[in-house]
Structure 1
Amino acid sequence: MSDSEPSVSEDQVATDTRPTPRVILKPRRALPFFGRHPWVFAGAISRIEGNPNTGQEVILLSDKGEFIAHGLFNPNSNIRVRLYSWDESAVLDDAFWTNRLQQAVALREQVGLLENFETSGCRVVFSEADQLSGLTIDRYGAWFLVQFSSLALSQKQDLIIRFLKERFPARGIWLRTEKGMREAEGLEISDQLLDGEEPPAHFFLEENGIRYGMSMVTGQKTGFYLDQRENRLAAARYLKNHRTLELHCYTGAFALNAVIHGQAQSVLSYDSSQSAIDQATANAELNGIGSRIRFQTGKAYAVLEQFKAEGEQFDSIILDPPKMARHRSGVKQALKGYFSLNRLAFDVLKPGGILITCSCSGLISQVEFQQMLASVSQHTGRHMQVLEQRSQPADHPVSPSCPENQYLKCFICRVL
């Protein structure tokens, strides 16, 4: 919000008696929004009737004046309107938002992710897939980590805190900020305690019967990659007696599953972050398997190049790199990066070896990632068999109307 723009509270917006502002689309731009895609970019808008404040409710109309949806307005963002209801009679009041939060929690309860509450973790709200575009909430024990990627929903912060405190025995609620959101949304926020106690310096999380030390405050994202929970367990089934190489290991979760659940003979794991290596090493010791996993600092491409030069070969390789494409303009370069990484992995993978290769870039589709792997197979002259194509667990659901939230891809392959 600029210094010259008047400050408007949530209560003022909610009690505003003026007609709800209307956002009218350009011709031939309405189809995605009738199809329930929640992001209305500035370039799709013809005009705005009324003078909506930042975060205010607006009505989206086609160029013919047809009602499409209710949304929240943000003049600071290229996503000018985020849509939340396609029911013309809906009102985006406190009861509406509370009901959406209740629906999200009900899913996690239904699939058993709120059990073992003190030591488990899960994603409680997943943005577009939970019809709450711009809000993500992760839970670790009785602490809740809130992330906003929408300025308009950040104005509902007090309501969200109140809901979490009423619904859960919440010990603390911590705000984590996401890279790039200040510029993209005009969000003037920083990591901070919102309510209750600060998260502990080290929290011990249990997942798949394995214990991990992690930090909610200083760790990557919100401290742990909850989305790979089921993929780590699935991958482990293919690694019995294997000598495994893992790159981008972070807290070592793939490696620990490989040894404990997959009975891998040994795992050599690398990450470019020394703090991640220290935490992963401590996690292996915590579970009594420190002698079977070796964690070292190293950059993935350089590590693979070195093993290639030395003629080193592994029974299996795990690739789980960070996001490579943050904007559509970066997709082509990201696919080149994935190609290079997987191409190098082929060079140090034994014939008949297992490749577990992942991407968390939501702008790259499952089909594009598979086509990249097909190119690797073609260039190396090695036949690849895809054994499993996996994605996200139930606490990271996917809205078919917004394919961008199906971001995680995990291919388990055999390479001859």
Structure 2
Amino acid sequence: MASMKLTGKGRRWVLGGHPWIYRDDISAGTAQAGDLVQVVAPTGESMGWALYSDASRIALRLVTRDEEQPTREFWMQRVQRAVDTRARAGMLDPEGACRLIAGDSEGLPGMVVDRYGKVAVLQLGTQGADRMGEFLVELIREALPFELDAVVNRSDTAVRKLENLPKQTEVMQGSVTGPIEVRDGDLLYAVDVFQGHKTGHYLDQVDNRRRAALLAEGERVLDAFAYDGLFGIRAALAGASEVLCLEQNKAACERLVVCAERNGVADRVRVERVNCMKDLRARAEAGEEYGLVILDPPAFARSKRERAGAERGYVELARRGLALTRTGGSLVSASCSFNIKTSDFRGFLASAAHLAGRDVWVEQMTGASPDHPELLTLPESSYLKCAFLRVD
């Protein structure tokens, strides 16, 4: 079995708890792409086992700090732990959806698995994960309390380029002939696991949509960057008097209309295909007001280099959102940029409040739904910020 020897700096980094080891922190060792390798200190003692990449700056991703080599039982325990966590959270309804495995934050590096009904969708982001795909499916089938109808490999993310891996989208097992209908309480929605964003849907915002809906009864609601409109449609189900969804993606707008009809709220949900930033400014200048404004844009900072531009974008977006929020109303503003910390985001919102001349209170600051766990020693697993604000 191959091994990789760390530098002194690499050893100190591993002892600090982070599960990623960078190429510069390896002093010796050879392995094949995706190999499971033993990690050793400069003095030779074992520091655990990791999956190796011969392409990425992150050369090693630890799976255990134990000296013993992981066996099938080890991997089964990891998968079962993830499944049991969802079961305890009430997330294993066969008609529902959840992130079943959250990759590095659950000790399964690069392995993301979302479940829509009885269809599992894999997103494999590293060389090690790519080699383990079929084995992972075997373990998932064993761990779940019900049978899967199909398994899809939706490994088409940009990060695969960093691993010298081609993009892949294929049905691994079973068949998928169209959108998959999912039930989330009283909300029904369809997921396109081949063309939809991520693995087909944004599962990280499930709980925040429910929280926002609690503010919607009797209100005019504006849902900007709506994608498939589930913030807005859930608000309509909660009693919003009218909902306006703004989205630029044509296919998403079409799904949104169908979803509103499917949920019986088409008479109160309207969608406009627009550039959201420009449209929000025009509506603010026209004096429009809403009791609940929801801003859930795509990531503004995908790297540290983009942070300065992202700050301007978030401040201006929040300022426009505040201009559209009536006195006594609520603004829900989200950021999915890992490179923007929670403290940064609060600062951006404070700047926007000052520029807008509004008094704004933070009622809640939340993150992703619990099926997207944050590992304390992996700060990269914490990325979503969602602010629930009261506006005067």
TM-score after normalising by structure 2: 0.94
d(CA) in 2 for partners of 1:159, 1:268? 45
Tell me if structure 1 keeps the 8 A contact 2:222–2:243. Answer: yes
1:249 aligned onto 2:229: no
TM-superposed deviation, 1:163: 1.9
**Structural mapping, 1:127-276, within 5 Å:** 127-167=103-143, 168-197=146-175, 199-261=176-238, 263-276=239-252
Q: Which amino acid aligns with 1:237?
A: L
Q: Which amino acid aligns with 1:200?
A: T
1:35 aligned onto 2:23: no
Same amino acid, percent of matched pairs: 28
Match of 1:73 among 36, 52, 55: 52
Tell me if structure 1 keeps the 8 A contact 2:338–2:384. Answer: yes
Q: Which amino acid aligns with 2:62?
A: L
SS in 1 for 2:352: helix
d(CA) in 1 for partners of 2:97, 2:135? 22
**Structural mapping, 1:86-105, within 5 Å:** 86-88=65-67, 90-105=68-83
Match of 2:272 among 296, 304, 311: 296
Size of the alignment, in residue pairs? 390
TM-superposed deviation, 1:61: 4.0
Q: Which amino acid aligns with 1:100?
A: R
Q: Which amino acid aligns with 1:53?
A: Q
Tell me if structure 2 keeps the 8 A contact 1:38–1:133. Answer: no
Tell me if structure 2 keeps the 8 A contact 1:200–1:215. Answer: no
SS in 2 for 1:213: strand
Q: Which amino acid aligns with 1:105?
A: V
TM-superposed deviation, 1:63: 4.8
Q: Which amino acid aligns with 1:151?
A: Q
Tell me if structure 2 keeps the 8 A contact 1:269–1:294. Answer: yes
d(CA) in 1 for partners of 2:341, 2:177? 37
TM-superposed deviation, 1:369: 1.1
Aligned match of 2:6 = 24
d(CA) in 2 for partners of 1:162, 1:243? 48
Aligned match of 1:5 = none
d(CA) in 2 for partners of 1:62, 1:374? 46
Listed one character per residue, the Cα deviations across residues 97-152 of structure 1 (whole Å, up to 9, x for unaligned) are 2221111111112222112x1x2111110012211121100011111000011111
TM-superposed deviation, 1:255: 0.7
d(CA) in 2 for partners of 1:324, 1:256? 25
Match of 2:380 among 404, 408, 411: 404
d(CA) in 1 for partners of 2:268, 2:243? 6
SS in 1 for 2:14: helix
Q: Which amino acid aligns with 1:42?
A: R
Tell me if structure 2 keeps the 8 A contact 1:164–1:170. Answer: no
Match of 1:47 among 27, 30, 48: 27
**Higher mean displacement: 304-313 or 30-39:** 30-39
Match of 2:261 among 265, 279, 285: 285
TM-superposed deviation, 1:192: 0.7
**Closer/same/farther in 2, CA of residues 66 and 270 from structure 1, 3 Å limit:** same
SS in 2 for 1:60: strand
Listed one character per residue, the Cα deviations across residues 299-355 of structure 1 (whole Å, up to 9, x for unaligned) are 111111111222222222100111222222223322222112112212222222210
d(CA) in 1 for partners of 2:358, 2:157? 38
Tell me if structure 2 keeps the 8 A contact 1:242–1:264. Answer: yes
d(CA) in 1 for partners of 2:262, 2:172? 31
Tell me if structure 2 keeps the 8 A contact 1:318–1:356. Answer: yes
TM-score after normalising by structure 1: 0.89
Kindly report the root-mean-square deviation, in angstroms, between the aligned alpha carbons of the 2 structures.
1.8
d(CA) in 2 for partners of 1:328, 1:136? 24
1:356 aligned onto 2:336: no
SS in 2 for 1:345: helix
d(CA) in 2 for partners of 1:239, 1:162? 43
SS in 2 for 1:68: strand
Aligned match of 1:314 = 290
Q: Which amino acid aligns with 2:91?
A: L
Runs of at least 5 residues in structure 1 that lack an aligned partner in the other structure: 1-15
SS in 2 for 1:334: helix
Tell me if structure 1 keeps the 8 A contact 2:226–2:232. Answer: yes
d(CA) in 1 for partners of 2:156, 2:315? 27
Runs of at least 5 residues in structure 2 that lack an aligned partner in the other structure: none
